[in-house]
């Protein structure tokens, strides 16, 4: 999606939400663009569902504002907003057939019978269920039921589809398949999707951008790649994927680069472009390195910017890759790093001494 070319569809400004003494959201700001697949990602209780329900109009903000399509949503009830919510799988009515389920929301639009049937059939076609109208819920697979729930939202022709953990009830294989299907469908329809999920992998796979929410605030809002490669804080870094955290100190940082001293790895210069903007060198006491950014060099020693000797203390062999724990010298005691190498390299045995290659681009500077 070309974000530069698309207009904002949802503008969230300084939104707070209190439930009695509980503050679920504390001053959230975000702009979501037309045609974007946007995810709200965070642990249980962080406030992501609350934000989705505020956009839908099921709850009212305690402070701040939400605009949709350039209009303030203050006092606009859910059924008059250009949004439609898809709930968890199986949230379809068991006593109605597929067509009745999909047409449910259209009843209040008072369409003629033929027109309604046409709208329903079109929505079923969009989710690849043409001809399934007469089936009952129990005659459908989990994935098909999920698609019916989606068709029920699509038939209302909303500008924005809101998805509240729609895939969480599906088993892993079906969930993987539905993640791709939903993404493809969203791309082909060009409708804005906002997904709530606590599953970081799901958010990375499906989204154009992700807002990571902790304790009622957005900790980082970025593309999946930015979030993975350049998480701003230790908390975001450990929530998204696996990260080694290594003690470090730094100088410089005023201009082009930081001089880092990482006891476990050595000294290295890292470009400032790898750091969150304006990060003071004095504030750096830890750096991150993703496991796949370390390589057991084997015979190719000399190809890496830096190398460090270590002892393999554990291996987990997965066929396509191997995870290693490697003890390297630290400031006082040895430090264990986790690393992951793809197949193609000989597997190093536990207890063996290895050379681990790494470079400045492996290092993630954290706030
Ligand atoms: N209706 C309500 N009344 C009181 N407190 C609420 C209400 N709804 C949410 N909360 C509280 O607000 C906070 C945020 O809840 P929310 O449901 O948005 O979290 P979440 O990130 O979606 O979590 P989960 O993944 O578990 O659904 C929680 O502390 C929750 O207990």
| Cβ within 8 Å of residue 310, ≥6 positions away | 326, 327, 328, 337, 353, 354, 355, 356
* Centre of ligand 1 from the C-alpha of residue 255, in Å: 43
d(CA 217, CA 232): 14
Q: What is the pLDDT of residue 172?
A: 85
19-23, 140-144, 319-323 — which one is most confidently predicted on average?
19-23
User: What is the reported pTM?
Assistant: 0.90
Q: Is 279 in the pocket of ligand 1 (CB under 6 A)?
A: no
8 Å CB contact between 183 and 37: yes
Crossing angle of helices 172-189 and 142-154, rounded to 10°: 20
The counts of H helices and E strands in the chain are 8, 21
* Centre of ligand 1 from the C-alpha of residue 122, in Å: 36
Residue 348's pLDDT band (cuts 50, 70, 90): confident
Q: Is 198 in the pocket of ligand 1 (CB under 6 A)?
A: yes
* Centre of ligand 1 from the C-alpha of residue 223, in Å: 25
d(CA 56, CA 210): 18
Q: Is 162 in the pocket of ligand 1 (CB under 6 A)?
A: no
| Domains of the chain from N-terminus onward | 3-235 (3.40.50.300), 242-365 (2.40.50.140)
Q: What is the pLDDT of residue 113?
A: 86
Q: Is residue 265 classed as helix, strand or coil in its secondary structure?
A: coil
Tell me the ipTM for this assembly.
Answer: 0.96
Q: Is 2 in the pocket of ligand 1 (CB under 6 A)?
A: no
DSSP at 136:
B
Residue 144's pLDDT band (cuts 50, 70, 90): confident
Q: What is the pLDDT of residue 90?
A: 59
Q: Is 46 in the pocket of ligand 1 (CB under 6 A)?
A: yes
In this predicted structure, the answer to whether residue 3 has a pLDDT above a threshold of 60 is no
Q: Is 149 in the pocket of ligand 1 (CB under 6 A)?
A: no
> Each residue of 49-80: pLDDT tens digit?
999 999 999 999 999 999 999 999 999 999 99
Q: What is the pLDDT of residue 5?
A: 59
* Average of per-residue pLDDT values in the chain: 91
* Centre of ligand 1 from the C-alpha of residue 277, in Å: 32
* Centre of ligand 1 from the C-alpha of residue 49, in Å: 7
| Cβ within 8 Å of residue 4, ≥6 positions away | none
* Centre of ligand 1 from the C-alpha of residue 22, in Å: 9
35-49, 250-264, 296-310 — which one is most confidently predicted on average?
35-49
If you average pLDDT over residues 326-347, what whole number do you get?
Answer: 86
Q: What is the pLDDT of residue 177?
A: 87
Residue 252's pLDDT band (cuts 50, 70, 90): confident
Residue 45's pLDDT band (cuts 50, 70, 90): very high
Q: What is the pLDDT of residue 209?
A: 98
Residue 2's pLDDT band (cuts 50, 70, 90): low
Take atom 30 of ligand 1 and give the residue whose Cα is closest. 45
Compute φ and ψ for 334, nearest 5 degrees: -60, 150
Residue 367's pLDDT band (cuts 50, 70, 90): confident
Residue 344's pLDDT band (cuts 50, 70, 90): low
Q: What share of the chain has pLDDT > 70, as a percent?
A: 96
> Each residue of 207-240: pLDDT tens digit?
999 999 999 999 999 999 999 999 999 999 999 9
Take atom 26 of ligand 1 and give the residue whose Cα is closest. 44
Q: What share of the chain has pLDDT > 90, as a percent?
A: 66
């Amino acid at each position: 999606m070309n974000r530069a070319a698309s207009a904002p569809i949802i503008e969230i400004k300084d939104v707070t939400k209190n439930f009695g003494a509980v503050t679920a959201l504390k001053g959230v700001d975000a702009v979501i663009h037309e045609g974007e697949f946007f995810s709200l990602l965070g642990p249980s209780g962080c406030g992501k569902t609350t934000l989705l329900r505020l956009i839908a109009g099921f709850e009212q903000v305690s402070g701040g504002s939400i605009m949709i399509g350039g209009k303030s949503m203050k006092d606009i009830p859910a059924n008059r907003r250009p949004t439609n919510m898809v709930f968890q799988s199986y949230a379809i009515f068991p006593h109605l057939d597929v067509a009745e389920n999909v047409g449910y929301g259209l009843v209040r639009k008072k369409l003629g019978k033929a027109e309604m049937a046409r709208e329903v059939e079109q929505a079923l076609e969009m989710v690849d269920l043409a001809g399934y109208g007469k089936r009952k819920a129990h005659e459908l697979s989990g994935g098909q039921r999920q698609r019916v729930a989606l068709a029920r939202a699509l038939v209302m022709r909303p500008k924005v589809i809101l998805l509240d953990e729609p895939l969480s009830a599906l088993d892993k294989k079906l969930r993987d398949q539905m993640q791709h299907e939903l993404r493809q469908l969203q791309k082909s329809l060009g409708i804005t999707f906002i997904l709530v999920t606590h599953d970081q992998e799901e958010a990375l796979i499906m989204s154009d951008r992700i807002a990571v929410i902790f304790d009622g605030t957005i900790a980082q809002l970025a593309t999946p790649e930015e979030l993975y490669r350049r998480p701003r804080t230790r908390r975001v870094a450990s929530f998204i994927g696996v990260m080694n955290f290594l003690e470090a100190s730094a100088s410089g940082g005023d201009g082009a680069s930081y001089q880092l001293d990482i006891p476990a790895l050595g000294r290295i210069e890292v470009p400032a472009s790898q750091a969150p903007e304006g990060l003071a060198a004095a504030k750096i006491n830890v750096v991150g390195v993703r496991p796949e950014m370390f390589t057991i060099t084997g015979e190719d020693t000399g190809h890496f910017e830096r190398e460090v000797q270590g002892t393999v203390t554990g291996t987990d062999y997965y066929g396509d890759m191997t995870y290693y724990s490697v003890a390297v010298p630290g400031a006082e005691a040895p430090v264990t790093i986790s690393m992951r190498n793809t197949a193609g390299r000989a597997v190093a045995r536990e207890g063996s001494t290895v050379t681990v290659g790494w470079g400045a681009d492996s290092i993630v500077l954290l706030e």
